[in-house]
Amino acid sequence: ETGVTQSPTHLIKTRGQQVTLRCSSQSGHNTVSWYQQALGQGPQFIFQYYREEENGRGNFPPRFSGLQFPNYSSELNVNALELDDSALYLCASSSEQTAVYEQYFGPGTRLTVT
């Protein structure tokens, strides 16, 4: 069974640029959630995708957007990057088949905005 994978591992961008982060969900999981974790803080929920539709969104501006593909992999896009977007971005997958919605996290993508 393949776990959750994310790419790239690290990324450095300049303020104002756009970035795309990628996530492959665990085998058999159809739900993907994205979280932002600033240094020294707990993760904050960005949004969730279930069967290619957005299924919940946290308190993040519209410049944070996402996609889920038919194979349940997902992308997080951030436009007009700001310095405060520097963080660890975590992807988690889950499935209603487990009946407990336990979420499995990937290793994260470290984004630095300069």
Q: Is 64 in the site for other proteins (CB under 8 A)?
A: no
Q: How far is the CB of 100 from other proteins (least distance, A)?
A: 6
The single residue among 20, 58, 60, 75 that binds other proteins, judged by CB under 8 A, is 58
Q: Is 56 in the site for other proteins (CB under 8 A)?
A: yes
- Residues binding other proteins: what is the number (CB under 8 A)? 30
The single residue among 55, 67, 73, 75 that binds other proteins, judged by CB under 8 A, is 55
Q: What is the DSSP string of 39-53?
A: TTS--EEEEEEETTE
Residues 6+ apart with CB under 8 A from 35: 43, 44, 45, 46, 89, 90, 91, 92
Secondary structure class of 72 (helix, strand, coil): coil
d(CA 84, CA 105): 23
Binding mask 78-107 for other proteins (x = CB under 8 A): ----------x-x-x-x-----xxxxxxxx
Strand pairing partners for 110?
10, 88
Q: Is 1 in the site for other proteins (CB under 8 A)?
A: no
DSSP 15: T
Structure tokens at 22: 């990628």
Residues that bind other proteins (CB under 8 A): 6, 31, 33, 35, 41-45, 47-48, 50, 55-58, 88, 90, 92, 94, 100-108, 110
